Every structure is written in structure tokens, then in C-alpha cells.
């Protein structure tokens, strides 16, 4: 138990590094980088970069993407790191304007749109099955440039702030495995690496699904859905043909309908059960 608390304390200490946002931005815009490339791009010391990479790995924001022979010395392998889906969410969440006044929001996204656009293109390449990003041109046309970027950053921030317990369980297991890898050299390295890789894949899938739901329901509902519903009721719908987005939203809405129906059925049974309990009636 002491060891676990010690590990958590170390992770929390690493989170305070000031270099992390620079590294997240670099990887979000440009893709996989080695530690030396990060050092060159940020102007930070190699020691600083090394500790920052360790911290970002612990937090599940980056992952070792590949290993290549060094150009200067082919006998030496160089590790390259890239963002996980959670890492991309962290980057987008960091671009949620602090000032909610609309003119300030517009100005902010005018100044940061190019970097955000590059990050979206990176997600498209890394996660080609992620419809929110691969169909971004339609979403941008649909909602407008300012609102579309605001919505994606808002949904990312909400998703990170309300982490499901199942993801937290995977995160604790991953942190423990990183500890084994770094502090217990007698442990089989390849086996630990394989377990870490498997957990990261599961985390990535869960983060994607949770973000999709938040984007589609929690935030699109506040603006886009209300407008679409209003236009539909007035007979003013102008079709924007996009089969991928149609299937995406239909699937999420159908899932929510099934969840609601299951919930209604359970509540109906509970109502009957409590009636029998407190009024003494037969089933």
C-alpha cells in the first residue's frame, strides 16, 4: 500500500512540469518525435524532456509509437513518441477559452484555428475510424468555424473532467506496470511492455467512445440539435448529405434510446415492487 501511495505521489509531482503543454502541442501538430527532436523543438534540456516524457507516459497522454535505428549511429535504437487519444483530448481541452464572452471566444479561435486544424488532421490520420474528426469539414460547415472548434474543446474538457471509473481502473494498472518496468528490472520486460500496450489500446477505445457520446449528446444538443429540431418542425431542413455522420449520430441516439427503455422498464418494476412492499399487495 505504501508503494502505491509513493507511486501516486511521484506521478502527481511529475504532473507539475511546465514543459508538458509544449510537448503535447508539438506532437498534436507535427506527429511522433524522439526526445532529441523534442529537445531541439522546445529548447529545453534533455533531462527536462526525459522527465516530461516519463510524466506524460504515466498520465497516459503519450505512448511509445515506434523504434528506429539512429541516423548517426544505426546500432542505437531511437524511441519515438506520439499522443494517445487522451493526449489529443488534453490538447483540445487546453484550448477552451477562459473568457466565455462570445467576441473573446471568436477572437481566440481565429488566433488558434490553424494549430487546432493541424491537430484535427493528425487525429484523422491516427484514428481514421473516428467520425467526428474524419468528417470535420461537414461539422465545420454545419456549425460554423468558431462554434465547431469551441464544441470540440468543450467536449474534450468535459470528458477529461468526468472520467469513468472503468478508465480510472485501467490507468491505475498502467501506472503500476510502468513502475514495475522502471523499478523492478528482474520482471520480464517484454511481458510488461505487452501488458502496457494492451491496456493503452483498451483505454484509447474507451476514451473515444466516451468522447463521442459527450460531443454528440451533451454539447451538440445544446446548440446544433435544438436548431435542427426547430428547423425540422418548421419544415425548413436543408439536407447536408453525409452517410458517415448520419450513421454515427443514429448509432449514438439508438443506444441512448435503448438505455432509456431499459431504465423505464426497471423503474416500472421498482414501482410495482415498492407498491407490494409498502401496501402489502400481491405481485
97 and 236 belong to one structural domain: yes
Same domain (yes/no): 63, 88: no
CA separation for the pair 159, 208 (Å, rounded): 10
Residue 68 and residue 93 in one domain: no
pTM of the predicted model as reported, rounded to 2 decimal places = 0.81
Per-residue pLDDT of the chain (283 residues; tens, 9 = 90+): 445 445 554 544 554 458 999 999 999 999 999 999 999 999 999 999 999 999 999 899 999 988 888 777 777 888 999 999 999 999 999 999 988 898 999 999 999 999 999 999 999 999 999 999 999 999 888 888 898 999 999 999 999 999 889 999 988 888 888 777 766 655 566 778 888 889 989 999 999 999 999 998 876 666 566 677 777 788 877 777 888 888 888 888 898 899 999 999 999 999 999 888 887 665 5
CA 15/CA 61 separation, integer angstroms: 11
The three-state secondary structure class of 33 is strand
Same domain for 142 and 4: no
Judge whether 62 and 32 are in contact, CB under 8 Å. no
Examine residue 39 and state whether it is found in any structural domain, yes or no: yes
Number of domains in the chain: 2
**CATH code of the domain in which 13 resides:** 1.10.10.10
Do 199 and 61 lie in one domain? The reply is no
Q: Is residue 78 assigned to a domain?
A: yes
Report yes or no: 57 and 63 within 8 Å, Cβ to Cβ.
Answer: yes
The answer on 173 and 235 residing in a single domain is: yes
199 and 139 inside one domain:
yes
How many Å apart are CA 156 and CA 126, to the nearest integer? 17
Q: Are residues 88 and 217 in the same domain?
A: yes
Could you list the residue range(s) of the whole structural domain that residue 120 is in? 84-240
**DSSP assignment letter at 62:** E
Are residues 76 and 10 located together in one domain of the fold? yes
Tell me: do 10 and 123 sit in the same domain.
no
Amino acid at each position: 500500500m505504501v508503494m502505491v501511495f509513493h507511486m501516486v505521489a511521484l506521478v502527481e509531482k511529475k504532473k507539475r512540469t511546465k514543459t508538458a503543454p509544449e510537448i503535447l502541442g508539438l506532437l498534436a501538430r507535427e506527429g511522433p518525435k524522439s526526445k532529441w527532436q523534442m529537445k531541439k523543438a522546445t529548447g529545453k534540456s534533455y533531462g527536462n524532456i526525459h522527465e516530461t516524457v516519463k510524466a506524460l507516459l504515466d498520465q497516459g497522454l503519450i505512448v511509445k509509437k515506434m523504434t528506429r535505428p539512429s541516423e548517426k549511429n544505426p546500432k542505437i535504437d531511437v524511441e519515438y513518441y506520439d499522443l494517445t487519444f487522451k493526449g489529443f483530448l488534453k490538447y483540445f481541452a487546453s484550448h477552451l477559452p477562459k473568457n466565455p464572452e462570445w467576441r473573446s471566444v471568436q477572437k481566440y479561435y481565429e488566433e488558434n484555428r490553424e494549430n487546432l486544424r493541424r491537430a484535427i488532421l493528425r487525429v484523422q490520420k491516427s484514428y481514421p475510424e473516428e467520425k467526428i474528426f474524419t468528417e470535420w469539414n461537414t461539422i465545420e460547415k454545419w456549425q460554423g468555424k468558431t462554434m465547431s472548434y469551441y464544441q470540440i474543446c468543450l467536449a474534450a474538457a468535459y470528458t477529461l473532467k468526468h472520467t469513468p471509473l472503468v478508465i480510472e481502473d485501467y490507468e491505475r494498472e498502467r501506472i503500476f506496470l510502468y513502475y514495475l518496468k522502471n523499478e523492478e528490472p528482474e520482471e520480464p520486460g517484454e511481458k510488461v511492455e505487452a501488458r502496457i500496450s494492451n491496456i493503452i489500446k483498451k483505454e484509447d477505445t474507451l476514451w473515444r467512445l466516451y468522447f463521442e457520446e459527450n460531443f454528440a449528446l451533451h454539447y451538440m444538443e445544446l446548440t446544433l440539435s435544438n436548431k435542427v429540431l426547430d428547423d425540422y418542425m418548421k419544415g425548413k431542413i436543408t439536407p447536408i448529405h453525409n452517410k458517415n455522420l448520419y450513421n454515427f449520430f443514429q448509432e449514438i441516439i439508438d443506444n441512448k434510446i435503448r438505455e432509456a427503455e431499459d431504465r423505464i422498464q426497471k423503474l416500472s418494476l421498482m414501482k410495482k415492487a415498492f407498491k407490494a412492499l409498502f401496501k402489502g399487495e400481491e405481485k
